[in-house]
Structure 1
C-alpha cells in the first residue's frame, strides 16, 4: 500500500453541486428526466406511518412524494404532499377521526389507481412525449415500471421536468404535468 498525500483546504471555498443547467428541452430523451431507482434510492415510507409524521419526513428530506410500502416492503402506492394536504386532513377530522389516527394508507394513491410508463417505452421517448401523454393529468408524479423484472424502476416528477425546462412559477409546487403541457404547448 502507498501513503497518499493530504492537501490543505485553506484556499478552498466552494462545494461542487450537480449541474442543473442541463440543456433539456421537449426533444430531449425522456431518460434525462427519469429518476432511476437503480441509481438513486427510492424515497419510501411505511403505509402505517401517521400522515403528520409523513409530512414532517417529506419536509425534512425536501421531497414531495414517497413510495408507500407495507411492513414487508411491498409496493402499495404513492403519497405526496398533495394527498397530505391540510384540506384532506380536515376532511378526515370532520368524520370524527383523530389527527393521529390518519395514516399514509388512508390518504395515499393505491397502486390499483396508478398508471405507469413502461421503462422500455421511455428509452425511445422524448420529454415532449411525456408532457403530451400526461398533459391532461393534474398529477405531479408518474411511476415507471420495469415490466420485464416486475418492479417499480423509478419515477418522473413534473417539478423535475419544469426545473430542467427552466420554467418559472413562483413556486414549483404548482407544476403538474397539466401546467407544464399548457406552458410548453399552448403559449
Structure 2
C-alpha cells in the first residue's frame, strides 16, 4: 500500500474571502458561450423540494441557501417542475391562497411551480455551441424563465433568465402568456390578475 502523507496546514484564519469577493465575475455579452450562464447540476446539486412543500418552507430553504429557484420532485424523487422564489409573492401565489382559502405561505409548491412539460427542453449537446443570445431568444419565444438542459431523459441543469441578467447586466424581457385552459379562463375572467 502506498504511504500517504498529511497535508501541511496553512496558518489559521478567523475569516476568509471568497473568490467572488476578490474577483467579481466579468460581465458577459450576448455573444458569449451559453455554457457560462448554465447551472450545471453535475457540478452543483440543485435545491430539491417535495411537491407538497409549502411556500413558507421552500422560501426558508431557498433564502438560507442563497438560491433563487428550486426543483420540485414527486414521491419517486423525480423532478417534475421548477419554482422561482420571486413567484412566491406574485399575483398567482396570492390567487392560489385565496382560491384554497388558506394563507399564501401554506400554498403547496406543486400548485405554483412551472411543470417540466411546459418548459423548453434542450439537449446538452445543443447548448455546447449556443450563445447567451440564443438562450435569451429561446426564453423570450417560449415565454418562460427557465430552459431545461438534458441529456436523453436525465436533467443536466438549467439556464435561467435570472442568471443571464446577473452575468450580462441585461434583463431578458419575457412576456408570460396563459398556456393552460385554466390560465386562459382566469385571464379572461380576472383581467386584473394578469401581467
Normalized against structure 1, the TM-score is what?
A: 0.76
Query: Contact conserved, 1:30 with 1:123, CA < 8 A, in 2?
Result: yes
Find the partner of 2:19 among 17, 20, 24.
17
More helix by percentage: 2
**Residue 173 (structure 2) aligned to one of 163, 175, 178:** 178
Equivalents in 2 of 1:141, 1:13: separation in Å? 36
* Aligned residues of 1:138 and 1:178 also touching (Cα < 8 A): no
Cα separation, partners in 2 of 1:20 and 1:91, compared to 1, 3 Å: same
Give the match's secondary structure for 1:66.
Answer: strand
Match of 1:135 among 140, 145, 154: 140
Match of 2:91 in 1: 87
Moved more, 91-100 or 33-42: 91-100
Q: Which runs of 5+ in 2 are unaligned?
A: 175-195
* Pairing 1:44-123 to 2, within 5 Å after superposition: 44-99=48-103, 101-123=106-128
- Could you tell me how far 1:34 is from its partner in structure 2? 0.7
C-alpha spacing 1:112/1:14, structure 2 compared with 1 (3 Å): closer
Distance 1:44 1:126, change over 3 A: same
Q: How far is 1:13 from its partner?
A: 6.7
Q: Given the alignment, which residue of 141, 145, 149 partners 1:144?
A: 149
Mapped partners of 1:61, 1:5: distance in 2: 31
Q: Residue in 1 aligned with 2:161?
A: 158
| Aligned-residue offset at 1:96 | 4.2
RMSD: 2.5
Partner-residue secondary structure (3-state), 1:159: helix
Aligned counterparts of 2:94 and 2:6: Cα–Cα separation in 1: 62
Deviation (angstroms), 1:8: 2.7
Distance in 2 separating the partners of 1:60 and 1:14: 20
